[in-house]
Chains A and B, each alone.
Chain A
């Protein structure tokens, strides 16, 4: 009897044990799709930063009868592709724009860690771009930094691809397998002309921008670049001259995008010396109690002058004109109502409300709220089978909207300088962590309103669902007890107004919806 029971125990244990041994993490697999359209006139679309694609030129390719082209074809034919190389081909065949944004999100999460207090110097050190690998690593990829990084990545990919499209349809060089039927590509190919290679364009433009944004990651980024480029040879999708021309074009456009970045005022976005005047100005406007850091020891506010950075889709005057009116002042009935809601929320938070707060938390160590919406956008480019150019346009419009939202929100936050709920009442504790900057308006709400609005324009079938997501993201900050309702509701509307400027750009860039 004992023995039988023991055997049963061992057997049951083993079965449970084996079940729990499957530690692999199932992630959604990404199919390679044929684009819904090729946007043959894409070379005429309006770029974001370049005044015109004529700013960059791509020399005419060698004719397909030339001996140099025939040599290139022959080297493709001679190529023996290993299984590992084929994996690389399959990885990048999902889409260069998609993959480089995915890499950018990973880097954002890897660098989204605030500096550690220096007990000897008695201060928080500031990351140094000239010494990016030393602690604290550069950058601290907080939400404003991430929004800007995604914006420039999107802009570089988009402008470079508009130029690429122009030259593709000007020269109309066919893919190697369409010139020589004995070449069989190992990935699906559309009828897009292959010179200059759109993959090399995206890879080079992305590499150059991300090297500036993450200077400590040059080796890793270069390895991604090499892999992406090689994947087009190993897949027999491009000859070397397609790739060389694409690389040169991508780099040339990236240089112009980076020049804009260097001059956008980000270098002055962490001006802590301006804070005292910001507080006194806000008090003149009626502020009763200014925001102070909840971190211990108190941490200087995150990028207090990011609100002055150059915007993409509206002017400085338009930014000021749409700045929200102040929230209910401390001590007023309106303020008390919002605060009481948070007191009750802390006591009665449902599991579903917590799920929402956690799902949208996007806090320290995550790819930030701009990264969250970058992923939403990237997934939609796949759902609607956008070609590389159109996908880049989507990512650029969303990316610039998110950066604009960050600028407009930071401008508002440091204009009003309002305290966080915990500061006013220590009973209001958070389940998700309070960010280190003033309360009004909610950054999540502003980012979400802007991204959902432009995405809703680009994907009208998704508009309602996107706005549901944006509302949820906005409410998540109330459920997390780190924002008053006014911060969230006003921030969401402010974000939609920011997104509307991106819609205007999209209506006039020649791409249609």
Chain B
């Protein structure tokens, strides 16, 4: 089933707004599936995430001055099979963040452009299932000068990132298990202020250090020609950083950690011209965190997949 990568790819994008901060580390592909050679898919999705509690450091609290926070995004993404074992992907989100308490203004805009290469060095078909090992490498860069120093309303951290991930994929009779682990390095950023507090120190500079992140996920699901369903658990852990102080605002230096649980379903609709559309929905809930909102989130999306040479896709 080489066709569904786009969807899987996309699914991880909404993590952007699970956080107090916009964060793109999870927009990199985390699945075990490859696009076939010369296949391209284009995806559009909408995500909506809300929270009314957040972790101030490790303390879970509400804040009437934030009320209920709502993050939304529209994501455009494409993936292309250079070969059956090497895919290239790109994605770009537009994000809106607002809250219904207090008097802060909303923030919105185009966030960061992400590019990935995904490579499958090993695929083994055996009598007891199919095994795959995959690796992805990705980079992301902000495409405008949005404001990173206004969390939680900022649409992102404006950090440039580079990530590398390893993926193990196993499938037998339509049932699959995917385990993924990755590391994202994040560049220092520049904020409009030239003085800020972090970890009890004053920094007299525009430059701010943003923690690197380790992420991991596990997915268990069923897939056939027409449908796919899946449950997953995801974790991200910042490798450094400080906590939001009592009654302070969040800041890009914060150690943002979270674990979430979720499920996803999708269906495919095959057209006579040899292309197909897919429709999907996903729901997830943050179950544990630090310096992040306890978000619940849904995503809906549509995908169109076709062969760039015009050949019909044969399932």
A residues engaging B (CB < 8 A)?
Answer: 1-2, 5-6, 9-10, 12-13, 16-17, 19-28, 102, 105-106, 109-110, 113-116, 135, 294-297, 346, 351, 354-355, 358-359, 361, 364-367, 372, 375, 422, 426, 429-434, 481
Tell me if B76 counts as interface (CB < 8 A to partner A). no
Q: Which chain B residue shows the least CB distance to A110? A: B200
Tell me if B103 counts as interface (CB < 8 A to partner A). yes
In contact, B201 and A106 (Cβ under 8 angstroms)? yes
In contact, A361 and B104 (Cβ under 8 angstroms)? no
In contact, A6 and B119 (Cβ under 8 angstroms)? yes
Within 8 A of A (CB), among B189-235: 191-197, 200-205, 207-209
In contact, A430 and B105 (Cβ under 8 angstroms)? yes
Contacts of B163 in A (CB 8 A): 13
Q: How far is the CA of A113 from the CA of B247 in the complex (A)?
A: 6
Q: Which chain B residue shows the least CB distance to A5? A: B86
In contact, B162 and A16 (Cβ under 8 angstroms)? yes
Stretch in B142-150, B166-174, B277-285, B305-313 touching the partner: B142-150
In contact, B65 and A295 (Cβ under 8 angstroms)? yes
In the complex, which of the residues A5, A22, A25, A110 contacts B197, with contact meaning CB atoms closer than 8 Å?
Answer: A110
Nearest-neighbour CB distance to chain A for B233, whole angstroms, equals: 26
Task: Give a binary string over B230-274; 1 marks a CB under 8 Å from any A CB, 0 the rest.
Answer: 000000000010000111110100000000000000000000000
Query: Can you name 20 extra interface pairs (CB under 8 A) apart from A23-B188, A26-B205?
Result: A13-B163, A22-B188, A24-B209, A27-B204, A106-B197, A106-B200, A113-B246, A114-B247, A115-B247, A116-B246, A297-B64, A354-B192, A359-B194, A365-B249, A366-B195, A372-B195, A375-B195, A422-B103, A429-B105, A432-B150
Contacts of A13 in B (CB 8 A): 137-139, 162-164
In the complex, which of the residues A2, A10, A16 contacts B139, with contact meaning CB atoms closer than 8 Å?
Answer: A16
In contact, B150 and A17 (Cβ under 8 angstroms)? no
Q: How far is the CA of A135 from the CA of B138 in the complex (A)?
A: 44
Q: Which chain A residue shows the least CB distance to B139? A: A16
Q: How far is the CA of A23 from the CA of B203 in the complex (A)?
A: 14
Report, as a range, how many residues of chain B touch the other chain.
Answer: 35 or more
Within 8 A of A (CB), among B92-120: 101-106, 117, 119
Known: A9-B119, A20-B161, A366-B197. A28 touches B205 (CB 8 A): yes
Tell me if B187 counts as interface (CB < 8 A to partner A). yes
Tell me if B38 counts as interface (CB < 8 A to partner A). no
In contact, A346 and B103 (Cβ under 8 angstroms)? no
Which of the listed residues B86, B106, B121 has the most CB atoms from chain A within 10 Å of its own CB?
Answer: B86
Which of the listed residues A17, A346, A429, A434 has the most CB atoms from chain B within 10 Å of its own CB?
Answer: A17
Tell me if B296 counts as interface (CB < 8 A to partner A). no
Contacts of B117 in A (CB 8 A): 5-6, 9
Q: How far is the CA of A456 from the CA of B204 in the complex (A)?
A: 23
Which of the listed residues B65, B196, B205 has the most CB atoms from chain A within 10 Å of its own CB?
Answer: B65
Tell me if B83 counts as interface (CB < 8 A to partner A). yes
Closest 3 CB pairs of A and B: A296-B64, A358-B192, A429-B105
Contacts of A361 in B (CB 8 A): 193
Nearest-neighbour CB distance to chain A for B265, whole angstroms, equals: 32
Tell me if B186 counts as interface (CB < 8 A to partner A). yes
- 22 A-B interface contacts by CB (under 8 A): A2-B83, A6-B117, A12-B139, A16-B162, A20-B162, A20-B185, A22-B188, A25-B188, A25-B209, A27-B203, A106-B200, A106-B201, A106-B202, A354-B192, A358-B147, A358-B149, A358-B150, A365-B248, A429-B104, A429-B105, A430-B104, A430-B105
Contacts of A354 in B (CB 8 A): 147, 192
Tell me if B60 counts as interface (CB < 8 A to partner A). no
Q: How far is the CA of A501 from the CA of B266 in the complex (A)?
A: 73
Contacts of B246 in A (CB 8 A): 113, 116, 135
Contacts of B82 in A (CB 8 A): 5
Q: How far is the CA of A13 from the CA of B183 in the complex (A)?
A: 12
In contact, B202 and A367 (Cβ under 8 angstroms)? yes
Contacts of A10 in B (CB 8 A): 137
Contacts of B149 in A (CB 8 A): 358
Known: A9-B119, A13-B139, A113-B245. A2 touches B86 (CB 8 A): yes
Contacts of A109 in B (CB 8 A): 197, 202
Q: How far is the CA of A110 from the CA of B201 in the complex (A)?
A: 8
Q: Which chain A residue shows the least CB distance to B239? A: A23
B residues engaging A (CB < 8 A)?
Answer: 64-65, 67, 82-83, 85-86, 101-106, 117, 119, 121, 135, 137-139, 145, 147, 149-150, 160-164, 185-188, 191-197, 200-205, 207-209, 240, 245-249, 251
Q: Which chain B residue shows the least CB distance to A15? A: B162
Q: Which chain A residue shows the least CB distance to B201? A: A106
Contacts of B203 in A (CB 8 A): 25, 27
Q: Which chain B residue shows the least CB distance to A481? A: B105
Q: Which chain A residue shows the least CB distance to B161? A: A20
Nearest-neighbour CB distance to chain A for B147, whole angstroms, equals: 6
In contact, B162 and A17 (Cβ under 8 angstroms)? yes
Which of the listed residues B64, B135, B185 has the most CB atoms from chain A within 10 Å of its own CB?
Answer: B185
Nearest-neighbour CB distance to chain A for B216, whole angstroms, equals: 19
Q: How far is the CA of A122 from the CA of B185 in the complex (A)?
A: 44
Nearest-neighbour CB distance to chain A for B115, whole angstroms, equals: 10
Nearest-neighbour CB distance to chain A for B111, whole angstroms, equals: 15
In contact, B104 and A433 (Cβ under 8 angstroms)? yes
Nearest-neighbour CB distance to chain B for A335, whole angstroms, equals: 19
Contacts of A429 in B (CB 8 A): 103-106
Contacts of A365 in B (CB 8 A): 197, 245, 248-249, 251
Nearest-neighbour CB distance to chain B for A14, whole angstroms, equals: 8
In contact, A102 and B162 (Cβ under 8 angstroms)? no
Q: How far is the CA of A254 from the CA of B150 in the complex (A)?
A: 40
In contact, B104 and A431 (Cβ under 8 angstroms)? yes
Q: How far is the CA of A259 from the CA of B304 in the complex (A)?
A: 77
Q: How far is the CA of A359 from the CA of B205 in the complex (A)?
A: 11
Nearest-neighbour CB distance to chain A for B26, whole angstroms, equals: 17
In contact, A351 and B145 (Cβ under 8 angstroms)? yes
In contact, A296 and B245 (Cβ under 8 angstroms)? no
Nearest-neighbour CB distance to chain B for A423, whole angstroms, equals: 9
Nearest-neighbour CB distance to chain B for A387, whole angstroms, equals: 23
Known: A20-B161, A354-B192, A366-B195. A6 touches B86 (CB 8 A): yes
In the complex, which of the residues A21, A25, A114, A375 contacts B205, with contact meaning CB atoms closer than 8 Å?
Answer: A25
Known: A9-B117, A25-B205. A367 touches B195 (CB 8 A): yes
Known: A5-B86, A12-B137, A359-B194. A28 touches B249 (CB 8 A): no
